[in-house]
A = this chain, B = another copy of it.
Amino acid sequence: MTRIAPTALYQEVAERLRQRIFAHELTPGTWIDEQKLAEQYGISRTPLREALKVLASEGLVDLKPRRGCYVTEISRQDLDDIFPLMALLEGRCAADAVNRAKPIEIRELKKIHESLENTAQEGRIDAFFEANQAFHKRIQELANNRWLLSVIQDLRKVLKLSRLHSLSLEGRLQQSLDEHRAIMAAFEAGDAVKAEQLMHDHLLSGREALVKMDIKNGKAA
Partner of A92, one of B59, B82, B88: B88
A53 CB to nearest B CB, Å: 5
A49 and chain B: residue at smallest CB distance: B50
A40 on interface, CB distance cutoff 8 Å: no
Residues of B close to A217: CB separation below 8 A: none
A218 on interface, CB distance cutoff 8 Å: no
Residues of B close to A59: CB separation below 8 A: 150
In the complex the two chains form, what is the Cα distance from A145 to B58 in whole Å?
17
A48 CB to nearest B CB, Å: 11
Residues of B close to A63: CB separation below 8 A: 8
Residues of B close to A173: CB separation below 8 A: none
Given known A-B contacts A57-B54, A147-B155, A88 and B85 have beta carbons under 8 A apart: no
Residues of B close to A82: CB separation below 8 A: 147
Residues of B close to A154: CB separation below 8 A: 151
A112 CB to nearest B CB, Å: 24
Inter-chain contact A155/B151, CB cutoff 8 Å: yes
A91 and chain B: residue at smallest CB distance: B88
Chain A contact patch, size range: 20 to 34
Inter-chain contact B66/A6, CB cutoff 8 Å: yes
Partner of A50, one of B53, B58, B145: B53
Inter-chain contact B147/A65, CB cutoff 8 Å: no
Q: Looking at A56, A57, A155, which has the most chain B CB atoms within 10 Å of its CB? A: A57
Inter-chain contact A146/B81, CB cutoff 8 Å: yes
In the complex the two chains form, what is the Cα distance from A158 to B59 in whole Å?
18
A10 on interface, CB distance cutoff 8 Å: yes
Inter-chain contact A85/B54, CB cutoff 8 Å: no
Further pairs besides A78-B147, A88-B92, A151-B155: 17, Cβ < 8 Å: A6-B65, A6-B66, A10-B53, A11-B65, A50-B50, A53-B57, A54-B54, A59-B150, A81-B147, A81-B148, A82-B147, A85-B145, A85-B148, A85-B151, A88-B89, A147-B155, A151-B154
